[in-house]
Amino acid sequence: MTPAAPEGRLPAGFAVRLDPRTRARDGGAVLVGGSPLRLLRLSPRARALLGDGRLVVRDATTAALAARLLDAGLAHPDLAGRPADDVTVVVPVRDRPAALDRLLAALRTDPGTAGLPVVVVDDGSAVPVDVPEGLRVVRHPVARGPAAARNAGLRVAATPFVAFLDSDCVPLPGWLHRLRPHLDDPQVAVVAPRIVPLGGGPGWFAAYEAAVSALDMGEHPAAVRPGSAVSYVPSAALLARREALGPGFDESMRVAEDVDLVWRLSAAGRRVRYEPAAAVAHDHPATTGEWLRRRAFYGTGAALLAARHGNAVAPLVIAPETALAWGLALSGRRWGRMAALGVLGVTAARLAPRLAAPGERPPAGFAALLVARGVGASGRALARSVTRHHWPVALAAALVSRRARRWVLTAAVVDAALAWWPHRQWVGPVRFAVARRLEDLAYGAGLWTGVVRRGSPAALLPTRPPRERADEHPAGSRPAGMSPDPRDLSPS
């Protein structure tokens, strides 16, 4: 029997594999990838340990290297599924008897969940829920909201792990077997599956919703944290370590309580993972009105998050010099475009020495490539801000300025086209563009409504990327084979 791992350390046998999008340079001595983009310089020993890109934890050194790769977003757990008999399933529900029956039937027929303890929390349903014998019901006489309902189930669960499933979900077979191994990492507090559509849906927007649902975090596994490509996971389906959640969800929040929980866990030093190999189907809205109301409701949560987490909710994260370059380029003047190129050239020149090892020549070409990549990403973020978060300001500007109208229209078209292209096989460009613009108008309206209610513009303000420095270790304390990086490559 393998000895228990020291508290906080990855256990023996835990495996990670480099993300396919991670790029190796200098013969494997340098890894570049993650979100935000990171650079990790490996010692010869670390390169040998990593081998073909898969690393199995065997001792303190491999555990430290694996953890560093995970935290940099350069690698993800590579784990075989296995039974999850130490999990309680918590289902919050209000006035959805048919959906609840469907969910409970799916749990009974999946060998991975049949027989697990299930707690149904009836959050003030008009007609009290009726469940099969053997399931526990906790009833709130008056609706207290989804956060309070989940917390009620969390308090009565007797197992070390709790799976939260909304009543309008249907977990696909094997979902829990794929999630449970992630919690062998003692630092992981929550792991979430991919949320996929349940059926085609009746609305004209169903194909769009299936392609880019706000609940679907995509096809790639990820570390979940503010400022990354996957900055949150929805509470529609989560597997959590009970002791890590503490008091649980913030019951004062009727929206965005899932984002708040993830960000609090991240701030406390816990890991949160997204595992798309596990999937849970979700019953998406059936009508256009319901769909847009839900998007507006989501938007109201931004102001609540800004009050709790500051600029983690910023709609636009951009380095000052990149913002200056875009401002000059969009001025419409030839000298402005030339000056923008000059700003980017200086940025690349400043970045190049940070990419070089001591004694190496700064890789100017690589630095220029990274700056160009960052400019492209920030351009997409600017377009998204104009069409989603700040559309009332953009609309006002477009009404009084021909140049502003041109740029707003260009942003709307380019944003829709770039977002549509990866999904072109499933939805047409016109339907996608119309749905995207309607969704953004609804979300932005909710965002501004929340801001007005809170009386604070914090959720609308842009911010600059944090400047992360090389990790500092006391002399002799750095694990063997490790380099002092990773470093953030944001040119800030």
pLDDT band, residue 286 (cuts 50/70/90)? confident
The 10s digit of each residue's pLDDT in 299-343 is 999 999 999 999 999 999 999 999 999 999 998 889 999 999 999
Do the Cβ atoms of 39 and 31 come closer than 8 Å?
A: yes
The 10s digit of each residue's pLDDT in 221-274 is 999 999 999 999 999 999 999 999 999 999 999 999 999 999 999 999 999 999
- The count of residues in the chain is 492
Of 232, 227, 90, which is closest to residue 147 (Cα–Cα)? Answer: 90
> What is the reported pTM?
0.91
The 10s digit of each residue's pLDDT in 135-193 is 999 999 999 999 999 999 999 999 999 999 999 999 999 999 999 999 999 999 999 99
Of 18, 72, 67, 71, which is closest to residue 40 (Cα–Cα)? Answer: 72
Do the Cβ atoms of 97 and 66 come closer than 8 Å?
A: no
Separation CA 447–CA 419 (nearest Å): 21
Do the Cβ atoms of 65 and 50 come closer than 8 Å?
A: yes
Separation CA 113–CA 46 (nearest Å): 40
- 136 SS3 class: strand
pLDDT at 211: 92
DSSP assignment of 439-473 equals HHHHHHHHHHHHHHHHT--GGG--BPPP-PPPP--
Of 217, 225, 166, 221, which is closest to residue 196 (Cα–Cα)? Answer: 217
**β-bridge pairing 188-197 and 237-241:** antiparallel
Question: CA-based angle 482:477:353, to the nearest 5?
Answer: 45
List, in order of start, the domains of the chain with CATH numbers: 15-78+472-488 (no CATH), 87-286 (3.90.550.10), 320-460 (no CATH)
Question: CA-based angle 295:296:302, to the nearest 5?
Answer: 100
pLDDT at 483: 34
Q: Which two tokens stand for residue 448?
A: 């501004």
The 10s digit of each residue's pLDDT in 105-146 is 999 999 999 999 999 999 999 999 999 998 999 999 999 999
pLDDT band, residue 6 (cuts 50/70/90)? low
The DSSP call for residue 8 is T
Do the Cβ atoms of 182 and 79 come closer than 8 Å?
A: yes
